[in-house]
Each structure stands twice: as C-alpha cells, then as structure tokens.
A and B are shown apart, each in its own frame.
Chain A
Amino acid sequence: MATITPAQGELQVRTFQRSPLSRARGHLGGLWGRPITQAIAKALLTIYVTSTITFGLIRLMPGSPVEIKIDELMQGSGMSYADAAAQASGLFDINLNAPIHEQYFEYLGNLAHGNLGSSFLSRGTSVMSIILSVLPWTLFAVGTGLLLSFVLGIALGLVAAYRRNSLLDHAVSTAGSIISSVPGYLIALLIILIFGIQLRWIPITQMRGAFTSGITPGFTPQFLGDILFHASLPITVFFLTHIGLWILSMRSATLAALEEDHVTVARARGLTDGRITTAYVGRNAVLPLVSQFAIAAGAVVGGAVIIEQIFVYQGVGLRLVASVNQRDYPLMQGIILMTTVCVIIANLAADLLYSKLDPRIGRAGGAGGK
C-alpha cells in the first residue's frame, strides 16, 4: 500500500506549554512569549517588592527604626529634632530632608548599583561585603546537607516503593515521616544534648565556628578537612531535616511511575529490570523532585538562622541574629534582600532544570508523518 490517507499525515501542532511552576505563577500580563522572560520579569518584580517592603519597614512604619533613632538621640543627648534627624540621616544613609519619594528612588538607585548601605556598627564596611563574607558558609553547609539528603533520600524512596508494604518500606516511611515533622532546631538541640553532653561522643565546643582560627585558609586538604569538621553538625541537621521529605516524595512518585502503562509495555518488550528502574521508572519519578530540590534549597536559607545560632556557625543566619540584637538596620535589610535573591535564583534554576529535563515542556512539536 503506497498511498497515504490524509489522516496519517496529521501534523502534530503542540500548543505551547509552560512548566508547571510557570503555569502556576499565573498569567500576569497575558502573552509574553518565552517563559524565561516571564520568569526574569517575575524575579525582578519580587526583588522590587521586597526592597519596597524593607524600605517601608525601616522608614515608614510607625515606630520605625529611623524614628526611634531620632527619638533616642533627642532624649539621650538632648538634641533638637533637626540635629537628631541629621545624625540619623547619616547613620541610615538616607537624606531625611528630601521628600519621601525621593528617598525611595535614591534607595532604589543604590540598590541597582548593588549598594546596600553601610553597617551601623562598623561604619566603613559595606553591608554587601559583610554579607558576601558570611553567605558562602551558609550556602556550603546548606548545600552539602541538602545534596546528601537528596541523593540518599531518593535512593531510599525508590527502594521503599519497589518493596512496598515490606518491613523496610514501613520502617523507612515512618522514620522519614517522624524526622521530617520535628523542627530542625529541635533536632540540633537534641544532637547537642544527647550526643554532645550526655554521651560525650561529639566534641561540640571544638566545633563552634566555621573554621579553627590558626589554620590558613586555602584549598589545602587540611583547611578543607577543618571546614568539614566544623560544618558537620549543621550539615547533619540539614540532612536530617530534609531526608524525610525526599524519601516520602520519591516513594510516592515511584509508586505512581510504576503504575504507568509504559512500564508494563517496557516489561512486555523484555527490557531488563535494571534498565526499567533507571530509565523508565526512575527518570520519570525524579522529574518533579528536581525542581522541588531547587525550591527547598532556596527556602532552607531562611531556616538556617537558628541552626547557625545553636552551633555558633558563622553564616548569614548568625549574622542576622547579631544584627538584630545590635539594631544594625542596614545589615538586617541587606540580609533580607540577599536571601530573597537566593530564593529567587533557586526558583529560576528549578524552572530551568525542569524544562530541560522534561521534553514535554516547551518544545514546539510537529513530526509530520509520511
């Protein structure tokens, strides 16, 4: 049969699909074209709104730090309003004489240049440099902990799904469920309490801080080993806090993937179990988890605050608490913004990863038949 009927030659025209995250983010503004443009626009908008909120918090609210500072100065040193305002102005790096909207635009302008102001306490140091000096430590600890928990969690979730309702499955699922329900800082306290104090297995006093002073920083094994030593407890806590999530998510994703028709067809095709597990079940199950990972990475930066406090780990969280106690408002403001930027970058990465990994997203299809 040489001729082809029209039905066979249907062109498959795919309507343009967006990744689930992008779709869920709504149809702001309507037609925009490529999702990456939309995502970046969303990101900028979020940064803008966040900075406005912090501006509002610091400047506009009743009882705002600026006003309080002025009051403080007036009452403490008996200054006049004008003098107090002038001093506050210098401290906050805001021109208090200019009308509000000008202050706002100046603030935004500074932001656009990456100028987050100067810290109250150390008057020459820019907020940006302070943050940049502590952020890497947090990212290192959080990143390592999350990565380890992801890898191990996925493996355990897969096994649990394959051995559904076995003892292993029940044990792993219950353990995962329990651990993920307990707040991270409680786990941290428990670790110190039980393993550090009661059992004396862990030398916690030696583990304070991000690294032992005295060892010169560099890419030497000695220094790297030292960093790992100091970061091990925070990493362990991040690991434990998240592993439950990965185990349970992967388990349910795998169970769903196992039900898929193409797995049955793959078995009918005589494919080996190994190949089916990796390329047919595994790849499909892990897909949504990858973007979940990216999102978790962004979110955990916030939760790291207390963990760092407990372990006295000099990351951005510890700095935030210190800045709060010291009323260092520019630093507080800067930390909010920078951590939000981290979350935004993580979310963008999640979107990107998902659209790269799932061929069903964003590809204009159309293999015409012959």
Chain B
Amino acid sequence: MPVLSVRDLSIEYRTRRGPVQAVRDVTFDLAQGETIAIIGESGSGKTTLAVGLIRLSPRSARVTKGEIRYDDGKRAFDVLSLDSERLRRFRWADCAMVFQAALSAFNPVITIWEQFLDTGRAHGMGDKHKVHDRTRELLDLVHLDPKRVLTAYPHELSGGMRQRVLIAMALLLDPRIVILDEPTTALDILTQRAIIDLLRELRGRLGFSTIFISHDLSIAAELADRMLTMYAGRVVERASVDDLFYRPRHPYSVGLMRAVPRVSGALGSVVSIPGSPPDLIRLPRGCSYYPRCPFHIEQCLAEDPPLLQVDTPNHEAACIRWEAVAAALGSDAEAPVAEKLA
C-alpha cells in the first residue's frame, strides 16, 4: 500500500487575467521508504504541487479536482477532505515539509528551543522534558550542538545550520512523509554536500518516505528512487532514476538531460531548450510542449497526451512519439544522450 496516492490533482490560482492552471491532473504514488524527486523548470508547478499536498497554498489558490490519499497502515484518509483541526494535526506529524532555510523560515524573535517546543506542544507533547530530550536527540542526529543551538536566535545561525535545524524539527514528530522543497538551493557547495549526505543518513536510519523538489538534476540523481518530470503543471514522465537518466522517453526530459553539463561530457554538448513555457491561463490545444519539441507532429496538437506506458516497466511518458524518442536515443549508454540529438 503506497503511503501517499495522488490522483488527478489539479490546482488553479485566481488572477486578474483569469485562472492560472498551475497543477493539472497530477497522478503518482509514493511507497513506504521511497524517495521521489520532482524535477522541472521554474513555473512548472512543482512547488505549487508540494505546498498543495499539505494544503498550504495561498488564499488565491483552489483545488479544482483530485484526491490525495494518505495511508500509513493505521489510518487512511483523503487529505483534501480533512477539516481544519484534523488538517492541522496531519501537518508535520504525518507529513512534514522542509522549506528553503532562508532566515525568514524561522520566527526571528523567539529562540530555536521555543520553536521546537511550540511544534511539540501543538501536537500534544505536553511534557517539556520529553520534547527537550527528543529535540536533543534529533539535533545530535543532524550533527549540531544542542547547547549552542537551542538558546540561539535564528539570525545567529548560519544558513547550513538553519537547514539542519529545520530538518531536525521536521523529524520531531516522526512523520511518515517528508517533503523537501529545494533544500540545498540557497547553500554553498560544501554545505550542499553535507546536507545531502545527512539526508541519506537520516533516511536510512528512520525510514521515512521523501518527496524531493528540485531543479538540480544531480541531487535528484543521488537521492531519488523514482522521478517525476513536470512541465506546465502536468507530469510528463514517471520513471525510476536509472530509466530517466539513461532511457528518457519524453522530449522534455531528454531536453533536461541535455541541458546539464557533465564533467565527462564533450565541450559543446550542452544545449538548452529553445523557447519558453506556455501561458498557463490560456493553454494551447494539445500537447503543451509542442512549440519546443523536436519530435512534434500534426497529431500532437489534437489533444493533451495521457501518460503512456513505454518500453521499460513502471515507466510512463506523456508523449505519443515516445517510440521515436527511444529510437533516436538508441540503447542504454548515457553519454550518447547528449550528442545523439546535437
């Protein structure tokens, strides 16, 4: 039983020009202990999706359809159907979200300890000592000194330290799911490495499932089991990490792979995708990737392609031309993906 089952989730924003369909018909499963990375460019809907999973979208956003089924073996329900009190308890205790640890992720006027205490108290942990013990445990796990960190105010900690504190706080209530939204983007490269290693270690020890949002493919490659590619609010490919990197079947995924420079790659093999994403208010008919796609044909404009099973198991791509893509890429080798389409 997957711990999270998202079916046909659609979220739109109200704007003056009309509703922006930021997330369209998103469907995926998250298994126990699995890590899924959601990748895509800015504006693809990844963050809207992530925030929407815990219903924390801004006031102007609305879920127009779909369901988010949570099942941890003891309880099962649709997150979208929760009333506000049950939703409040669901958040953090069952599903925690780690944001980019900018300074403003913490309340600047209270100490780190008080913020842990707040979190504990909000979820029924009345005993201060229990909360304190658990907090110390977690801070040790993330390799921070509780004595120094707990009495400090947020602005007194460095970016890397704050990110660790956020991760520790996320694990306070032992959630089944941890959502990470660009957890390493704002950090320098050494700290990034440290955080990635930390996440891997924690995941191994505590066994939670992870949803990872990133535009950084290399991090996704390190941490994820499966990947979702999003474009213009839709999931355009669902595959295992290996499949997506070595055998992408959607032209956009192929484009993403080509856009990342490789240490071993030949000079000149990096190509960005020409054009820009469509207007999410007035979506064109048919496949939204059409204008930028080197594989497009007339029929692509007929309707938005559904996710189709491709040539490897548990691998779907929303493209009617996936076979052509597969043919163009040839076999397994990774390096040729960049050059074959040059």
- A and B touching (Cβ–Cβ under 8 A): yes
Say whether B32 faces chain A, with CB atoms less than 8 Å apart. no
Partner of A359, one of B89, B93, B108: B108
Which residue of chain A has the shortest Cβ distance to B145 in the bound complex?
Answer: A370
Q: Are A12 and B109 in touch, CB under 8 angstroms?
A: no
Q: C-beta contact mask, A72-116 vs B, less than 8 Å → 1, else 0?
A: 000000000000000000000000000000000000000000000
The residue in A1, A270, A271, A284 that gathers the most chain B C-beta atoms within 10 A of its C-beta is A270
Q: Are A359 and B153 in touch, CB under 8 angstroms?
A: yes
Say whether B317 faces chain A, with CB atoms less than 8 Å apart. no
Q: Are A358 and B109 in touch, CB under 8 angstroms?
A: yes
Which residue of chain A has the shortest Cβ distance to B149 in the bound complex?
Answer: A367
Which range holds the interface residue count of chain A? 35 or more
**With A262-B106, A265-B99, A360-B155 as contacts: A272 and B122 at CB distance below 8 Å:** yes
Say whether B92 faces chain A, with CB atoms less than 8 Å apart. yes
Q: Are A268 and B54 in touch, CB under 8 angstroms?
A: yes
In the complex, identify which listed stretch (A45-53, A133-141, A226-234, A275-283) lies at the interface while the others stay far away: A275-283
Which range holds the interface residue count of chain B? 35 or more
CA distance A265 to B99 in the complex (A): 8
User: Which residues in A have their C-beta under 8 angstroms from that of B144?
Assistant: 369-370
User: Which residues in B have their C-beta under 8 angstroms from that of A5?
Assistant: 190-191, 193-194
- The smallest C-beta distance from B243 to any residue of chain A, in angstroms, reads 29
Q: Are A369 and B99 in touch, CB under 8 angstroms?
A: no
CA distance A370 to B156 in the complex (A): 14
**With A266-B107, A363-B153 as contacts: A10 and B99 at CB distance below 8 Å:** no
User: Which residues in A have their C-beta under 8 angstroms from that of B152?
Assistant: 365, 367
Say whether B324 faces chain A, with CB atoms less than 8 Å apart. no
- The smallest C-beta distance from B203 to any residue of chain A, in angstroms, reads 13
Which residue of chain A has the shortest Cβ distance to B172 in the bound complex?
Answer: A269
In the complex, identify which listed stretch (B157-165, B214-222, B267-275, B292-300) lies at the interface while the others stay far away: B157-165
**With A4-B143, A369-B144, A369-B145 as contacts: A279 and B156 at CB distance below 8 Å:** no
- The smallest C-beta distance from B86 to any residue of chain A, in angstroms, reads 11
- The smallest C-beta distance from A10 to any residue of chain B, in angstroms, reads 5
- The smallest C-beta distance from B177 to any residue of chain A, in angstroms, reads 12
User: Which residues in B have their C-beta under 8 angstroms from that of A370?
Assistant: 143-145, 148
Q: Are B153 and A7 in touch, CB under 8 angstroms?
A: no
Which residue of chain A has the shortest Cβ distance to B170 in the bound complex?
Answer: A269
Say whether A163 faces chain B, with CB atoms less than 8 Å apart. no
**With A267-B91, A280-B107 as contacts: A369 and B156 at CB distance below 8 Å:** no
Q: Are A275 and B158 in touch, CB under 8 angstroms?
A: no
Q: C-beta contact mask, A347-368 vs B, less than 8 Å → 1, else 0?
A: 0000000000111100101111
User: Which residues in B have their C-beta under 8 angstroms from that of A272?
Assistant: 88, 122
Say whether B276 faces chain A, with CB atoms less than 8 Å apart. no
- The smallest C-beta distance from A338 to any residue of chain B, in angstroms, reads 36
Q: Are A8 and B191 in touch, CB under 8 angstroms?
A: yes
Q: Are B107 and A284 in touch, CB under 8 angstroms?
A: yes
* Complex interface residues of chain B between 134 and 184 (CB less than 8 A to chain A): 143-145, 148-149, 151-153, 155-158, 160-161, 169
CA distance A363 to B156 in the complex (A): 9
Say whether A296 faces chain B, with CB atoms less than 8 Å apart. no
User: Which residues in B have their C-beta under 8 angstroms from that of A279?
Assistant: 107, 110, 118
* Complex interface residues of chain A between 254 and 311 (CB less than 8 A to chain B): 260-262, 264-272, 275, 279-280, 283-284, 287
User: Which residues in A have their C-beta under 8 angstroms from that of B201?
Assistant: 1
- The smallest C-beta distance from A257 to any residue of chain B, in angstroms, reads 10
User: Which residues in B have their C-beta under 8 angstroms from that of A266?
Assistant: 107, 118
Partner of A269, one of B110, B119, B156, B160: B119
Say whether B283 faces chain A, with CB atoms less than 8 Å apart. no
- The smallest C-beta distance from A272 to any residue of chain B, in angstroms, reads 6
Say whether A14 faces chain B, with CB atoms less than 8 Å apart. yes
Say whether A6 faces chain B, with CB atoms less than 8 Å apart. yes
Q: Are B198 and A1 in touch, CB under 8 angstroms?
A: yes
* Complex interface residues of chain B between 198 and 222 (CB less than 8 A to chain A): 198, 201
Q: C-beta contact mask, B88-100 vs A, less than 8 Å → 1, else 0?
A: 1111110011010
User: Which residues in A have their C-beta under 8 angstroms from that of B122?
Assistant: 269-272, 275
User: Which residues in A have their C-beta under 8 angstroms from that of B83?
Assistant: none
Q: Are A284 and B118 in touch, CB under 8 angstroms?
A: no
Q: Are B56 and A369 in touch, CB under 8 angstroms?
A: no
User: Which residues in B have their C-beta under 8 angstroms from that of A287?
Assistant: 109
User: Which residues in A have their C-beta under 8 angstroms from that of B104?
Assistant: 260-262
Which residue of chain B has the shortest Cβ distance to A11 in the bound complex?
Answer: B158
Q: C-beta contact mask, B104-138 vs A, less than 8 Å → 1, else 0?
A: 11111110000000110011000000000000000
- The smallest C-beta distance from B117 to any residue of chain A, in angstroms, reads 11
**With A1-B143, A7-B194, A365-B153 as contacts: A12 and B105 at CB distance below 8 Å:** no
Q: Are B88 and A262 in touch, CB under 8 angstroms?
A: no
CA distance A269 to B95 in the complex (A): 9
- The smallest C-beta distance from A51 to any residue of chain B, in angstroms, reads 39
**With A279-B118, A359-B109 as contacts: A268 and B148 at CB distance below 8 Å:** no
- The smallest C-beta distance from A271 to any residue of chain B, in angstroms, reads 5
- The smallest C-beta distance from A108 to any residue of chain B, in angstroms, reads 43
> 23 A-B contacts, Cβ less than 8 Å apart?
A5-B191, A8-B143, A8-B161, A12-B158, A264-B99, A266-B118, A268-B96, A268-B97, A270-B119, A270-B123, A271-B88, A271-B118, A271-B119, A271-B122, A284-B108, A359-B153, A360-B153, A367-B151, A367-B156, A369-B145, A369-B149, A370-B143, A370-B148
